[in-house]
Chains A and B, each alone.
Chain A
Amino acid sequence: MNMFSSLMLASLSVLTLPIMLSILNTHKNSTYPHHVKNIISYAFITSLIPTMMFIHSGQETIISNWHWMTMQTLKLSLSFKLDYFSMIFVPVALFVTWSIMEFSLWYMHSDPYITRFFKYLLTFLITMMILVTANNLFQLFIGWEGVGIMSFLLIGWWYGRTDANTAALQAILYNRIGDIGFIMAMAWFLSNTNTWDLQQIFMLDPNLTNLPLLGLLLAATGKSAQFGLHPWLPSAMEGPTPVSALLHSSTMVVAGVFLLIRFHPLMENNKTIQSLTLCLGAITTLFTAICALTQNDIKKIIAFSTSSQLGLMIVTIGINQPYLAFLHICTHAFFKAMLFMCSGSIIHSLNDEQDIRKMGGLFNAMPFTTTSLIIGSLALTGMPFLTGFYSKDLIIETANTSYTNAWALLMTLIATSLTAVYSTRIIFFALLGQPRFLPLTSINENNPFLINSIKRLLIGSIFAGFFISNNIYPTTIPEMTMPIYMKLTALAVTILGFTLALELSLITHNLKLEHSTNVFKFSNLLGYYPTIMHRLPPLANLSMSQKSASLLLDSIWLENILPKSISQFQMKTSILISTQKGQIKLYFLSFLITLTLSMLLFNLHE
């Protein structure tokens, strides 16, 4: 047990080595990306040891290293919380990042700034590790904002493109709205519990009003792209594919869910927040699944499916099963990262073609990618004994047998069925049938960086769920017994989705869509949400800033009332008074009269 904390710290601090090296500038530029990739694999292997120890003994640890400052009664120090959540998540995140780094070596090999790209990815990983292992809210906030800024930089990687810049700014905007919630929660905890340390907050178990929990929920909504603050996630697909695979599927976007999981000791007894969370998750999972149905951009579909899965995690928190939600975070990381990498492989091979209507027949040209994509999709839909099954099936079962909001549960079930539908759609259009891409594209997936990285995640997508769910101790007890139809519901709706989608696709394959229906428009235009929310409020806000703040208040009122009116007044009076006519005699006469009068008056007075 002695080596537990030191090994964990070693695996965390080894990540900072390449950043330090880049300051010293001793590395050769060409080998730097490989170096980063190796470091991450070392960190992964090192972190496995404390994780094994933790699984063996189940002992939570808190490390407090460096006293930062004390203000009045608040002590802030660098402190790591090595509990169940961080101990399981760190190796998973490192494993996924390792694969994605290797994938980026292939995907970004022609980029002149590949070194900088790897530095960004590494910095992102470090901030994510800070977020996961933080033991106080301030440290958590460092990681929280850090991943946000790194996502800004990485989405805007191709900075010459307007779309990339817009998407990056959009991500920051939505994240910042969520941050308001986080800061409010911080302020509330500070003024009511006088501490930011997690264990102290839980220990004090403050008499909660809904305010701080609402703040945390808002924060999670922003970071995890829940309904209302969701549009940034699909827009973020403007970034390079490795970025989508790392940030916008497996690590950064689950930070919001992770935050709620961290705070579940405060949430589990608060019914209002629970139902709010449940409904929010249910709306998100259904809405984004509907949006995914009619998209044609392969990355957009996967992005919406990520959003939908995030909604499912929030639903799980809403039914008071944070451990299940956490399990889903871990399993989801494997297959979703792999799905993005497969789509990256396809996109790269087809000369940056992302439209699934222009793909087709790839199962002949890219057998390995096809295999991985299909396994990933099956894992996503919860096919038995693949990774997704172990968490997703459990979530749906628990939801079915719980007696909370039936509407939300129904929404979740429909969304589960739709998962199968859009997965089928990707497979059907991209992989099966006849090729619809240009015949001259050179398709080549035989690069060891590509093959190895996907293979590693492929193995993860098949077995990781089994391993993780077998090795963890049950904390909140899931429902053990249920009627057989309940047990089979998840499977049934998924199979229903598969068959329906396959049949519909086969039937309509050669038909032309004459008039798009309203339902189609709703889904294809993302529920009109961006059309409304990205047009009207910014217009109102910006015209308010221009017309009322800048022109009316600053340029007209404030400038005219104070300085200009005063100078105008002075000018007018001085012109009025100093209208000289040159009548010197008259002036002297009046002066004389005044003088004599005053002297007379004074004399009389005496």
Chain B
Amino acid sequence: MLKIIIPTIMLMPLTWLSKKNMIWINTTTYSLLISLISLSLLNQPSNNSLNFSLMFFSDPLSAPLLVLTTWLLPLMLMASQHHLSKEPLIRKKLYITMLTMLQTFLIMTFTATELISFYILFEATLVPTLIIITRWGNQTERLNAGLYFLFYTLMGSLPLLVALISIQNLTGSLNFLLIQYWNQALPDSWSNIFLWLACMMAFMVKMPLYGLHLWLPKAHVEAPIAGSMVMAAILLKLGGYGMLRITTMLNPQTSFMAYPFLMLSLWGMIMTSSICLRQTDLKSLIAYSSVSHMALVIVAVLIQTPWSYMGATALMIAHGLTSSMLFCLANSNYERTHSRTMILARGLQTLLPLMAAWWLLASLTNLALPPSINLIGELFVVMSSFSWSNITIILMGANITITALYSLYMLITTQRGKYTHHINSIKPSFTRENALMALHMTPLLLLSLNPKIILGFTY
């Protein structure tokens, strides 16, 4: 695993030692190379894990997320170039360093074997993200957003630390690899219910669960493009990953503790999709759509069947790429119209036809068009929730319909119609932007050829 972590750390000296005109190209190429190395992890010969050392391991669940993390760094660097072009050199370097630091923490989080080191790294990712949001956001509301982001996550995750210490006392080990063999049922008591809550809430806030999602739209809207991308693509998935990992040791409490959270997620997914229908702010729409998709993941994890786990993993990867792409597209609009308001960008298809094609593809994957991996994820979740309870198909169906509606509403509002006069003189789309979209889209399309590598444990 060090062959990925050390090169990632070495990105920082590379950034600081690069010449002025080379910082983007150097870091992008180098991080792309790192992501190519990490691709080999996708080859998981068996359902057992690949143990690299006592500290790090990877298995079919973490490998796709890890690859997604490394894949996203070059994309973030490509996306940020324009909005940093006016900044002084040292701040650009600082920005890249922050992204690299975040990347390092994320890689280590996904590969940690110890729950405590997982926890520490999970918290450590907050720091660079917070700096990115509050330093490079566009408006003054960014400070407030950063506050929300930090406090929601911290409040959720502090009980987890207590819970972890208590589990350490109980079992003597917090090693993921050992815990899966410790299949002793927790006794049915109040304290264990609180243990369950403490373990799950940290990740539910991170996902976010409906009701605790308020930080997400704020942070997404205020963050610079790279911050939005990494949050939508990976930070939310930390929650899902943590839940998938920790539920194995929380039986049998999950079977009855899950109900209120299942209901809340099912309800919240409809609510947040409905909010999307009324959004005028492009980034806020995409952020709420993330909440709605993540609610599906929460449902899937709490149902706890092999199919739902596969669905959750696939949906996380698919949504990671799709929402990140949507944020990039929103950013490319923002850089031209200087506004996040959708109606101001209408009719762009006439001026930027190739960008319209990317918009179309991104919207179609967002609404889970078969045979994209988004559909595979959603379909598996719907299947498992249907077999859990037939009635959920009503809510799931409503959500599918509303998702299609707001995705296409977004497409139509930004791309179709007559273009307005103030966008007469916008810049054409750059090769950099088209390459960025292509790098998002290609994995989505290629993965639908062989979705098995992102299904996690296929049992």
Contact = CB atoms under 8 A, between A and B. Distances in A.
Contacts of A29: none
B371 A142 contact: yes
A169 B275 contact: no
A542 B404 contact: no
A176 B400 contact: yes
Given A169-B409, A176-B404, A563-B214, A542 B278 contact: yes
Contacts of B415: 159
A544 B383 contact: no
Contact of B277 (A180, A183, A545, A558): A545
Interface stretch (B90-98, B114-122, B171-179, B386-394): B386-394
Interface string A516-557: 000000000000000000000000011011100110011000
Contact of B370 (A141, A153, A156, A176): A141
A71 B400 contact: no
Contacts of A542: 277-278
Interface in A327-382: none
Interface string B182-199: 000000000000000000
A160 B417 contact: yes
Contacts, number: 118
A423 to B, nearest CB: 36
A206 to B, nearest CB: 14
Interface string A136-153: 001001100110010011
For this complex, into which size category does the number of interface residues on chain A fall?
Answer: 35 or more
Given A542-B278, A554-B214, A183 B382 contact: yes
A165 B417 CA distance: 8
Contacts of B278: 542, 545-546, 550
Interface stretch (B39-47, B129-137, B249-257, B448-456): B448-456
Interface string A278-320: 0000000000000000000000000000000000000000000
A172 interface: yes
A184 B151 contact: no
B274 A188 contact: no
Contacts of A173: 401, 404-405
Contacts of B386: 184, 187-188, 191
The residue among A160, A545, A558 with the most chain B CB atoms within 10 A of its own CB is A545
In this complex, which of A141, A165, A188 has the most chain B Cβ atoms within 10 angstroms of its Cβ? A165
A601 interface: no
B458 A545 contact: no
A362 to B, nearest CB: 34
A179 B214 CA distance: 31
Interface in A152-168: 152-153, 156, 159-160, 162, 165, 168
Interface in B364-409: 364, 369-371, 379, 382-383, 386-387, 390, 393, 396-398, 400-401, 404-405, 408-409
B370 A191 contact: no
A433 to B, nearest CB: 39
B364 A149 contact: yes
B363 to A, nearest CB: 10
Given A159-B417, A183-B382, A71 B458 contact: yes
A594 to B, nearest CB: 32
Chain B interface mostly helix, strand, loop or mixed? helix
Nearest to A566: B151
A425 to B, nearest CB: 35
A186 B214 contact: no
Contacts of B364: 149
B458 A172 contact: no
A589 interface: no
A503 interface: no
A577 interface: no
A558 B390 CA distance: 30
Given A186-B383, A191-B386, A549 B451 contact: no
Nearest to A180: B397
Contacts of A558: 211, 213-214
Given A142-B370, A172-B408, A191-B386, A183 B397 contact: yes
A205 interface: no
A90 to B, nearest CB: 21
B143 interface: no
A576 interface: no
Contacts of A159: 349, 415-417
Contacts of B452: 69, 71
Contacts of A152: 408
A176 B401 contact: yes
A479 interface: no
A211 interface: yes
Contacts of B56: none
Interface string A188-199: 101100000000
Contacts of B307: 71-72
B430 interface: no
B148 interface: yes
B347 A184 contact: no
B254 to A, nearest CB: 21
Contacts of A559: 214
A177 B393 contact: no
Contact of B369 (A149, A168, A177, A183): A149
A179 B368 CA distance: 12
9 contacts: A159-B416, A165-B416, A169-B408, A179-B401, A184-B393, A186-B383, A541-B277, A553-B271, A558-B214
The 3 closest A-B pairs by CB, nearest first: A180-B397, A545-B274, A187-B386
